[in-house]
Structure formats: C-alpha cells, structure tokens
Amino acid sequence: MAGERPEDIPGYRVERQIGQGGMAVVYLARDERLGRPVALKVMAPTVAADETFRLRFIRESRAAAAVDDPHIIPVYEAGEADGVLFIAIRFVSGGDVKSLLRREGPLPAARVAPIVAAVASALDAAHTAGLVHRDVKPANMLLDTRPGRPDHVYLSDFGLSKDMQSSQLTSPGNFMGTPSYTAPEQVTGDRVDGRADQYALACAAFEMLSGEVPFAGPHGWATVWAHLNNPVPTLTDRRPDLPLAVDQVFARAMAKQPGHRYQSCGQFSGALHNALGLLPGRASEFLPGTVPLETIPHGPVLPGPATAGQVTANQFTAGQFTANQVPTRPPGPLTTTQEVVRRRPLHRRWYVLAAPVAVIAAAAAFAASTLMNPRQPPLYSEIQAFTAPSTPGMQPYASSVAFSPDGQTLAVGLTTLTASGPSSSGVTYLWDVRTGQRITLLAPGGGPEAFSPSGKTLSAAGGHGNGLTSMMNTATGTRTRVLNDNTDSQIDSEAFSPDGKVLACDESAGFVYLWNTTTWKGHMLAAPGDSVTTAVAFTPSGKSIVTSANDDRVLLWDRATGHVSATLRGSSGNVLMTSVAVSQDGRLIAAGDQDGKVYLWGADTKRRVLTLADPHSYGVDTVAFSPNGKLLATGDGNGRTYLWNIPSGTLAGTLDNPGGRVTSQLLGESRTAVYSVAFSPDGKTLATSDTNGNAYLWRV
C-alpha cells in the first residue's frame, strides 16, 4: 500500500506494521503528544479517494468515538492528513479472537460466552446511538490481556459503520463486509439495521464454538450465496458435547429474515448463555445490562433489559404476554403429584397439581421467570375467541378445531370434564368466523372433526371414550348418519381424502378405519409389527395415507392396496409420534413427538430434511402446515403454539392463548395443552384450541 506515508501524519511516530486488510493497514505508533502507544489505522488510497466515503468515514468515526460502552475500543482521533485518512485507537496487546482461534481451535463454552456478551453490549450501545457496525467478526474482537484479571474484550473497526437513518450503502451484487459473516440483507441491498450485526455476531460465535464459519465456499460469492439460500447448519453436529438447545438459538439469530431474529444482540447473548447451561451465578458477569439469572426463581430464560422483566402474577393469570415470547417450562421435573394423566396412551393430557397453593406458586414462579419487552409489538395478534357455555359442575376443554373449506365456519370440539374425569358427553360447536356467533351444535361430539372437500358434510367424532362418528349436513345442521366400527375404540384423528370418497379415522386401539363415503362400508388398516397408529392424513394426490406411530415412525400407505409403502423415522428412539401433517403441495411431511421434536421429510425422497425443537416443550400434540407451506404450527403440551418458518428452519413466533393457565376449581388442575391447530384456507388466520374451553383465532 505504497504512497500512504503514515510517517507524515502529524503527532504520530510509526514503529511497525501490525495488521493489514483489504481497506486499511494498521501500524503500532506512538502518540508523541501524550507518549502513549496507539494503533494507527490508515485507509487505502483507493478508498480514501472516494469523497463520499471520506466524509462519511470522518463523521461516523467521530460518532463511534462518542458511543459510551466499555467494550467499544476507545477512539483517540480520526481525521485526514495530506490526503491520508487515519484513525487512532487504543493499542491492545492481546491480539484478536481470530488469532486465538488459529492458535487454539474451538473454544470452551465458558470462554465464548463472555466474549459474545461483551461484543453484544458494544453493539447494542452502538445501535442505540443509531450506528450499525456492518463488519462484526472475530478479527475485530480484541483481547486486552493483563495478569491478575480476566481478559477485557473490545469491539473495533467501525470503519464500515453507517447511520441507520442514512440512505442505502449497498445494492444487490455490491456489498461491504466480510462474506463469512454477512447478513442476507447486506447482500440484497435491503435496509440494514442492528439485526445484521446480530447475524454476524452469531456467525462469529458459531465459529468460536466449532472452529469453522457456518457457511464456507471456495470463493466469496459462494459463501454469500450460502448465506442467502442455505439453512443454518446444526452446531451440535460439529460439537456434540454441547446442549441441543444451542441449535435453536443459532437458528433464530441467523434467520434469513431480520424480523425473525432476537430483539437485540444482548438477548441473543443471553439466550446462548442459557442454552450452553452455564452457571446462573455468573450471569451478571456474562450478560452486562441484563437481569442476573440468580434473581430468577426457576429456570433460565431469554434475558432482556432489566426494566423489561417485571412480570407479575396478575399479568400471568391475565395472559398479558406478547405473542412472540418463549417462556420457560414450569420449574423442575414433574413429581408424583404432577404426574401426567392421559386420556389414552397418546398425546392428550392434563396436569394435576397437589393443591391450589401449588398452582398459585407455580404460576408466580413461571411469571417471574418470563421476561418481556413491552416495546416489541407482537408478530401475531389475536382477533377472535369462541367460548362455549359451561354447565355448573362440568368444565369443557377445546380438544379440536377445523375450518370449513370456504373458511367461514370453525368447528370446535369440546370434551367435558366432571369430578370423575372426562366424560363421553362432548359436543361440537360450529361458529361463524366473521361474526363470532354460534351456528349450531352437534351432540354427541367433541372431536376431532373434519370437513368434506365440498364443505357440505362435517364428520365429528364422539369425544373422549366414544367410538362413534357423526356425519352432519352443514347446510341444515342435522345429523345424517352415525358410523360405528364396533371396536369400542376412541377416535383421535380424522381426515377426508381429497376426492371426498374416503373418510379415515384413526382409532385409539392403534389402527386406521377407512369408510367409503358412498356405500358407508369400511375396512381396517393395521400397522405392521408392534406399531400403533396415532394420527392420520392424506397426501394431496389422495394416493397415499400417512399415519404417525408409537415407535418414532411415520408410515406411508398405498391407498389402493392398503399396504405400507414407506417408513420414515425420527431420531428420538422408541418415542410416540403424536401427530402428522402433509403440506398442500405434497412436498413435505411433518410429525411431532412426545419429546418435543418436530420432523420434516421430503415426500419424494423420504429423507429427513429438518428437525425442529423448542427447549421449553412439554411434547408436541398437533402439527399443521400453512397453505403456502412456509409456516408450520405446532400445538404443545405446555400450552403454547409455536410457529416455525420452514424455509429458514427458525422459530417465527410463539402464541400464548390469552386465557393463560386456567385452574379448574372443580378438579384442582392446571391445564394448558394445545391439542389442535388449523390454518384457514387463505392462510391468514390460525385457529388454536385451549384446555380452558376456548378456541382462538390469530392473524398470521
């Protein structure tokens, strides 16, 4: 980089070159006025010749110097001398994190966490001041090492920073940054804000933990293409010693869409800290500016600003949580007095607490462990609630929801609880989606329900312990037929074939009964070996029937022959698959299991393409694809509905039913499970059930 003549910069005596990049050379120099060593960064002549860059460099270097955070490298001076752009910063003798990685390889989690926390603190301070760094990477993380104290981490090199309110710096095909850490929006020319820095910080953290950048190609544009198109790699594949929860943290922080990432770099840092399972007592050390975990009664959470964590028990019971929160699982393992009581050896359940006092204590602890950010608007909003009348001495819970093909009617199945447990006297309500008014009810009912493709017929199972299926004319509201397979088995899943000629009913006895809707004659599909079917769906072509099973498998049946044509496996071992769904384009099959995992397979390849898991899951009870196949909704035993972005493989949002955890005065139960979810045909609305007896509509 000849011609820069750093020795001509007044007030500085250059001693030696200590670094070089594509845009600048860094020298160790001495500030002759104060007699201190400095790192003198001199910009390349080709960059300095750009008048727009020169003006912005000086303005933003001064702005960065004004950001007050102990982890931003102190800037002593920035300016121009005889056509040479330079910046003088504190000289840090400990080197940078990139050099550390070259020497030591993947770093221990306890070493990575404080580095990420320090850089996150610096970035959030810069973002608050209106600056985006744009080039966060290990080489820009400096380590000040001194005997007798932990390393102090500085974030350096704000040379590419820009004001978040300024005009675009990049355009498609022309971006500034380092390819291995570049957020997709920096490449496409979309608006760039602090979430791009979060993406880069996540890439750097991934590299610190694994020793490899998440996306690598033979040249820069191959890497950039991977950032734009490839799913986030699984860190635990490279570091199997780390908890699985870290994969979801990186999936969210590196989501392709900025809106799907964490609200701040500090929140990402806190989530990573918790996922790594580091000691709560060190939370304040790792997470400057966040609520120390030692102040939270139970379980790690996603930390936010200290002022955002004031959630009271009253807020908890009133359901005043934002739709995008991911609260923790209630504290501790289930005890013998909190044992899961199942309707059958499948996925429907409720949680019995020892006494009302235990319920109140659990609610208060859960509320205290859930941190909110009131400034963040919910990604998804509730637009309707349907509440059925309750008979004294009985309390219904919504066990199923289903939309009519035109989206104007919602069927809600209600199972009734009595002092002795669930009864078989459930009912199915039909609600007008637009007005919220009840159209009619069908008894016995209780779900599950399925509308025929024409919408003229509704099939409603008889509810808990009832093996009958009622067929109803939706125009007249009258029951036209009752189906009874004489097996005394409860029906837990129903689906019409796309041509409407077959109704499939999954039976709790572990088989699927197929009814011909013309002759109303039926025959049984029995799973091979020891497998027991648990849910049923049709492929869009109608040629195959898909069932989940009790042994971590999904079975594909040839509808014409009644034989199993393919078997798909999860990864949890001999675990109950509770639910199954097929995307409308027929390309993906999804299934959830009791371990809280959701698996997606390619319908053509029969290979697993994605595994989704939330660390707070009580077990997945139901799954449903949006019509465009971009979202997957999963109802969970913890009372929440998770919305997963399929293209990015990340968590897009978490819905808490507004009723929250409802305590039954009759049974002394805290019942939270979401047993059923359904998208409207236009994909703009999601229906969810709730064990407090309500069904909800959400705008998605």
- Measure CA 3 to chain center: 52
Going 269 to 117 to 367 to 354, the CA torsion angle's sign is positive
At how many degrees (to 10) do helices 109-128 and 265-275 cross? 160
Place of tokens 């009810």: 441
3-state secondary structure of 412: strand
* Whether 499 contacts 453, CB under 8 Å: yes
Strands 631-636 and 162-163: unpaired
Q: What is the C-alpha to C-alpha distance for residues 695 and 677, in angstroms, rounded to an integer? A: 10
3-state secondary structure of 580: strand
* Whether 626 contacts 652, CB under 8 Å: no
For residue 536 the two structure tokens come to 């049923």
Q: What is the C-alpha to C-alpha distance for residues 212 and 215, in angstroms, rounded to an integer? A: 8
* Whether 276 contacts 236, CB under 8 Å: no
Distances 301 to 79, 289, 292, 620 between C-alpha atoms, Å: 44, 15, 11, 20
According to DSSP, the residues that pair with 449 across neighbouring strands are 460
Going 572 to 576 to 579 to 582, the CA torsion angle's sign is positive
For residue 511 the two structure tokens come to 């088989």
According to DSSP, the residues that pair with 395 across neighbouring strands are 417
* Whether 673 contacts 661, CB under 8 Å: no
3-state secondary structure of 88: strand
* Whether 86 contacts 80, CB under 8 Å: yes
Place of tokens 């041509």: 499
* Whether 318 contacts 660, CB under 8 Å: yes
Distances 287 to 112, 209, 303, 322 between C-alpha atoms, Å: 12, 18, 9, 23
Identified catalytic residue from 69, 96, 135, 690: 135
Distances 669 to 4, 116, 413, 579 between C-alpha atoms, Å: 75, 42, 20, 25
Question: DSSP characters for 355-408?
Answer: -HHHHHHHHHHHHHT----TTS--SSEEEEEEE----TT-EEEEEEEEE-TTSS
612 closest CA partner among 642, 584, 569, 641: 642
Burial of 30 (0-12, 13-18, 19+ CB in 10 A): middle
133 closest CA partner among 76, 198, 68: 198
Active site annotation includes 135:
yes
Strands 12-20 and 36-43: unpaired
Element (H, E) at 267: helix 265-275
683 closest CA partner among 600, 625, 612, 634: 625
- Give all strands (DSSP E) within 477-543, no chain letters: 478-484, 491-496, 502-507, 511-516, 522-526, 533-538
CA angle 91, 96, 97 (to 5 degrees): 155
Q: What is the C-alpha to C-alpha distance for residues 267 and 261, in angstroms, rounded to an integer? A: 10
Maximum distance among all alpha carbons in the chain?
98
Place of tokens 């030692």: 294
Dihedral, CA atoms, 140, 146, 151, 154, nearest 10 degrees?
A: -30
List of residues 6+ apart from 478 with CB closer than 8 A: 472
Query: Which residue numbers are catalytic?
Result: 135
